[in-house]
Amino acid sequence: MNTTATDPGLRHRLRRVARRVADQHHSINDYYGELSEKIASNNKSALRVEFDGYRSALAAHFELEEQIFFPAVCCVDETQSGRIKKLVAAHSQLLVELGHLSESLDTLPAEEFSRRMVGFSTILSSHEHQEEVLLTRATQFPPTGLDESEQESGRDSEHESKP
């Protein structure tokens, strides 16, 4: 573990950033709700404006995570760098998918566009969960880390159902 990981000031700042990231996850989910309403209204011009705003908000959120949050996590727990690389790669994939959705927004029937957005939202929710597990673990002291199977699955044993 990096010696800065024991710095209480760093851990405090990381908790502040973690709250900001979690708040943004909620805001992005709220934005998706507004976008869903525009899809249902079948008003393509209003939908375009809402979709472009959603896409910009998500890109800005990913930038915050990649420029501030993820580097701070690495300072606290270097073992998470592989997991963070996967999350960053997922950001790129999600933005590419939003690009495809943007290109098809004007041509797809509303029902098909809505179906694709629901699929996107499902993938994004899973991604957010993985980030929130990372947030929780990184802000604990000492950091608890994830074992290899949890890193691969993106799942946290605390969130799995018990028999």
Non-local CB neighbours of 44 within 8 Å, separated by 6+ positions = 105, 106
Supply the pTM of this predicted model.
0.79
- For residue range 41-78, list pLDDT tens digits in order: 989 999 999 999 999 999 999 999 999 889 989 888 88
CA dihedral sign of residues 40, 41, 42, 43: negative
List, for residues 87-117, the tens digit of each pLDDT value.
Answer: 999 999 999 999 999 999 999 998 999 999 9
- The answer to whether 138 and 74 have CB atoms below 8 angstroms apart is no
CB 145 within 8 A of CB 35: no
Round the average pLDDT of the chain to a whole number and report it.
84
Q: Which domains does the chain have, with CATH numbers?
A: 3-139 (1.20.120)
Rounded (10°) CA dihedral 68, 74, 76, 77: 150
Task: Read off the tokens for 72.
Answer: 């701070």
**Nearest of 44, 88, 86, 72 to residue 143 by alpha carbon:** 72
> Residue 70 and residue 93: Cα distance in Å, rounded?
17
More confident residue, 145 or 46: 46
Q: What is the dihedral of CA 19, 20, 23, 27, to 10 degrees?
A: -170
pLDDT the model gives residue 4: 53
Confidence of residue 1 (pLDDT cuts 50, 70, 90): very low
